[in-house]
Structure 1
Amino acid sequence: MIVITPKLDMESKEALYIQLYKYIRNEIMEGRMEKNSKLPSIRTLCDHLNISRTPVVLAYEQLLAEGYIQSKARSGFFIMDIAESSFFSSNTLIEEKNNILSSPSRLYHASKYEEVLYDFGYGSVDLENFPFIKWKKMMNRCLLPESSELLLYGDLQGDEELREEIAVYLHQIRGVRCSPQQIVIGAGTYHSLDLLFQLLREDVSLLALEKSVNDGVQTLIEQYRFGIHSLELEHDGVRMEDVYKSKAQAVYVTPSHQFPFGMTMSVNKRIKLLNWANEEQAYIIENDYDGEFRYNSRPIPSLQSFDQNERVIYIGTFSKALTPSFRISYLVLPTRLLERFREKKHSYDQLASPIFQKTLQMFMKSGDFERHMRKMRNLYKKKHDILLQAIHEYLGDNVTIIGAGSGLHILLEVRNGMTEDELIESAKQRGVKIYPTSVYALEGERSAMPAILLGFGGLSEERIVLGIEQLKIAWGME
């Protein structure tokens, strides 16, 4: 068994578990810990270093997650053969990290090269409860010789049987009224929006949208050179006076769970917005972001479900319901835009995998998707409630929670005198990854009170609590 004697600085701002993790990782990468060597047990190392159990557990967990060590039942922890694993030699790893540092940082979850123990990224989902066995079984059926057509490009509008399942699902869950013929499958939200903006070029020169919006959507809009009118946000959605003054031909909204601030558009405003669109012959682009997850109240039907005049364009994705990697989204187009799509007044190509589409269709038809969604709603509600409880316990009156009750993220307004950048950097020193909100402002403004975005979908219940506890220390709220 290896004896480990790292130099741990008890006065350092860097957490003990990060110091221990880095020491062991470097020893492995430099070859000073040989493959298959056994590490000390957690209790042995705690006693040897005279530290508590938590830093050792967290350091070992991170090493396990990154593939430096492996756990063998009833035997302990052992050094992996890095040369034969999916990781790199030390030189390659250093070179790769340098490349990462020069690349744009992710705004939705941490890179695998970042030394993060608690990642509150909004783009993460609970993968431990993904139905791997059932999904694999159905995908294997797609790879039989009789399904060989799935190895080709696929239908431009998307798998017809999948569109039938989506139409039924949307009507049952979100009240959307549409036929399968109105649905166009895409490879993610941005892909679907790219198609939509191509179809709208003839009608739209000025687009109104919420004053804070996803940065990827902002970039896409800039490519089409629409004029932009910013809409102020109130506690129940966009300020309608701004809509009336906008003279826009289309408005983009996230009414179910506004991104990033999390408010839900009231029914009263939904009706007013629909009346405006009908009077002005304008379109409403409804991105039903996080619409499937609502915890403390009855679901509010989609905007599209109220629409009597085909003014709403509905867009959604399976990224949160399943996993982002499948890249399956969908548009529900009004008749006029559907005709434009079929006339091929666009450069759109179907990029969503036919194999994934067919697997999802079978998953939905079997009833497994509905059962999975029920399970995930209960799971995410529990995580949501644990997060709020931990914030109240550890952060107390130093913060204000914004946007609770739905979706997979909340915002924290923090009152401790730190700037947004300082809050993020101090959290990073404690191994916690949190995310800014200022980057989503259309006009680049920062609010007087910094607000931090916390996603909870990808963290375990235990790590949610431990992460918030570390934020208390990082932000000096002890």
Structure 2
Amino acid sequence: MLQLTPKLDEGAKEALYLQLYRYIQGEMIAGRIPADARLPSIRRLAETLGVSRTPVALAYDQLLAEGYVISKPRSGLYAAELETGNRAQTLEQTYATPSPPRAYHASHTESVPYDFGYGSIDVHHFPWTKWRRLVNQCLLPENNRMLLYGDWQGEAELRAHIAQYLHQTRGVRCTPDQIVIGAGTYHSLDLLFQLMKKDVSTLALEAAVNDGVKSLVQQYPFACHPLGLENDGISIQDVVNSAADAVYVTPSHQFPFGMTLSIGKRMKLLKWAAERRAYIIENDYDGEFRYGTRPIPSLQSLDESGRVIYLGTFSRALGPAFRLSYLVLPPSLLDRFWKKQHSYDQLSSPILQKALLLFMQSGDFERHMRKMRTLYHRKHDVLLEALTKHFPKSAKVIGAGSGLHVLLQPGNGMDEVELVQAAEQVGVKVYPTSVYALSPEWSMPATVLLGFGGLAEEEIRAGIGLLAKTFGRE
């Protein structure tokens, strides 16, 4: 049996389970815990370390969620096989940059009692009073420059705060000069594709993607290669076979199917990109919201070759109407941005950028995010409880544990169209998933999407109760 001897400090600010998690993670990356080594049981390790079972269980859960370990029924946890590289480069070496020269969403027009649309947020808990005060502050005469175009890369102070926020919450390593603020995910992607088009002839992307991304890709002359989806993320063999110059992925919470790209596959994907000098586009659209385990570190945080382009949005944190997104560009693409090798000048409203900056500076943004994580965690659990209560065990729930949506396969003999129509007849909106497939053969059979962010807990319970009665009819 493998022996683990971490040095745990109960007086440290960092929780015991995080200390243990980091120790085991480090030992595995360094190769001191070999692949297929069996980890001690929770009970045995807790006794050895003289701690309760809770921190050990939490550490193991996080390792399992990130793919560092695999679970074998009735046997235990085993170390996964990792592709590890040289991680000795410093942040300054890796990210040195030249100095710059100066779709299918919830309906808001139809009267539907229970709308489980993707993309909805809880507007009732938005900090209206604080935000109104901040916007009013931006519109004072002394801030009259807010009415002009502003910095076409995004307000410098806001970029600095976003860089700090991303490092603290997602492990992203970048300088403020690498960040370009955009007016929503699709605008940021459109800008990125313009910067990449000289280098990319073949784009590999997940076999199912957001419909807006799919539509945008079709506007460019990229040859598209679909990547099969497995329980732990994209097929790495499909990546190798694609001969692609760039790969688009949602590794922390695949959209729409919800799986997480395992650490082993992350290392292999990064190694492939470094060897081929290909780009990886990481869309971390809802990485802030993970329930039960610590948020999965971003793929960009593991990148030592500057091949990952990180894409994020404030649509889940604040609301889609703000149209605030951001790209973290590697130096080569950043140089093209500064040389104006694209068709954009101002990407996002300086007024909203300034208001967000003030929101972050005051500490209110961090407090708002803590509140929303707690709120969405509770709604997520209410949804799962309702599905467990009302649906038989034969029904399958996919993609739980992260984000603001899950998928449901009722297994009642209805096809996708019948499911959507039957639900609407009783005042419940659910959404098809076939629209996200790059081609019909990649569709999941009879699967609907349930977004829960915009519904109250009682609405979730009532809506699922109606669905269960409706889907129970053959």
Flag whether TM exceeds 0.5 (same fold).
Answer: yes
Query: In 2, Cα distance between the equivalents of 1:355 and 1:399?
Result: 47
Match of 1:154 in 2: 150
Query: In 1, Cα distance between the equivalents of 2:263 and 2:279?
Result: 18
Higher alpha-carbon deviation: 341-350 or 249-258: 341-350
Q: List alignment gaps of at least 5 residues for structure 1.
A: 1-105
How far is the alpha carbon of 1:476 from its aligned partner? 2.2
State the structure with more CA Rg: 1
**Helix, strand or coil at the partner of 2:424:** helix
**What is the CA deviation profile of residues 127-177 of structure 1, one whole-angstrom value per residue up to 9, with x for unaligned ones?**
000000111111110000000000111111011111011000000000000
Match of 1:31 in 2: none
**Helix, strand or coil at the partner of 2:124:** coil
Spell out the pairing of 1:243-392 with structure 2 (5 A cutoff): 243-392=239-388
Aligned partners of 1:315 and 1:332 also within 8 Å = yes
Q: CA RMSD in A?
A: 1.1
**What is the CA deviation profile of residues 271-316 of structure 1, one whole-angstrom value per residue up to 9, with x for unaligned ones?**
1100000000000000002100000112211000001110000000
Query: In 2, Cα distance between the equivalents of 1:273 and 1:289?
Result: 19
**What is the CA deviation profile of residues 18-60 of structure 1, one whole-angstrom value per residue up to 9, with x for unaligned ones?**
xxxxxxxxxxxxxxxxxxxxxxxxxxxxxxxxxxxxxxxxxxx
How far is the alpha carbon of 1:446 from its aligned partner? 6.2
How far is the alpha carbon of 1:448 from its aligned partner? 6.2
Q: Quick one: which amino acid aligns to residue 342 of structure 1?
A: W
Q: Please say if 1:134 is aligned against 2:140.
A: no
Spell out the pairing of 1:104-183 with structure 2 (5 A cutoff): 107-112=104-109, 114-183=110-179
Query: In 2, Cα distance between the equivalents of 1:428 and 1:228?
Result: 35
Spell out the pairing of 1:431-450 with structure 2 (5 A cutoff): 431-445=427-441, 447=443, 449-450=445-446
Q: Quick one: which amino acid aligns to residue 275 of structure 1?
A: K
Aligned with residue 221 of structure 1, among 207, 214, 217: 217
How far is the alpha carbon of 1:472 from its aligned partner? 1.1
**Helix, strand or coil at the partner of 1:397:** coil
Residue 174 to residue 130, structure 1, CA distance change in 2 (3 Å)? same
Query: In 2, Cα distance between the equivalents of 1:448 and 1:200?
Result: 31
How far is the alpha carbon of 1:449 from its aligned partner? 3.0
Aligned partners of 2:155 and 2:350 also within 8 Å = yes
Query: In 1, Cα distance between the equivalents of 2:225 and 2:200?
Result: 12
Residue 359 to residue 216, structure 1, CA distance change in 2 (3 Å)? same
* Aligned pairs, number: 372
**Helix, strand or coil at the partner of 2:378:** helix
- After superposing on structure 2, the runs of 4+ consecutive aligned residues of structure 1 that deviate more than 2 Å are 444-449
How far is the alpha carbon of 1:352 from its aligned partner? 1.0
Match of 1:202 in 2: 198
Query: In 2, Cα distance between the equivalents of 1:448 and 1:157?
Result: 40
**What is the CA deviation profile of residues 383-435 of structure 1, one whole-angstrom value per residue up to 9, with x for unaligned ones?**
00000000010112241010000000000112001010000000000100000
Aligned with residue 234 of structure 2, among 235, 238, 243: 238
Aligned partners of 2:416 and 2:448 also within 8 Å = yes
**Helix, strand or coil at the partner of 2:123:** coil
TM-score by length of 1: 0.77
How far is the alpha carbon of 1:265 from its aligned partner? 0.7
Aligned partners of 1:415 and 1:449 also within 8 Å = no
Q: Quick one: which amino acid aligns to residue 373 of structure 1?
A: M
**Helix, strand or coil at the partner of 2:366:** helix
**What is the CA deviation profile of residues 188-214 of structure 1, one whole-angstrom value per residue up to 9, with x for unaligned ones?**
000000000000011000000000001
TM-score by length of 2: 0.77
Q: Percent identity?
A: 64
Aligned partners of 2:376 and 2:404 also within 8 Å = yes
Query: In 2, Cα distance between the equivalents of 1:439 and 1:350?
Result: 32
Match of 1:103 in 2: none
Query: In 2, Cα distance between the equivalents of 1:370 and 1:115?
Result: 34
Q: List alignment gaps of at least 5 residues for structure 2.
A: 1-102
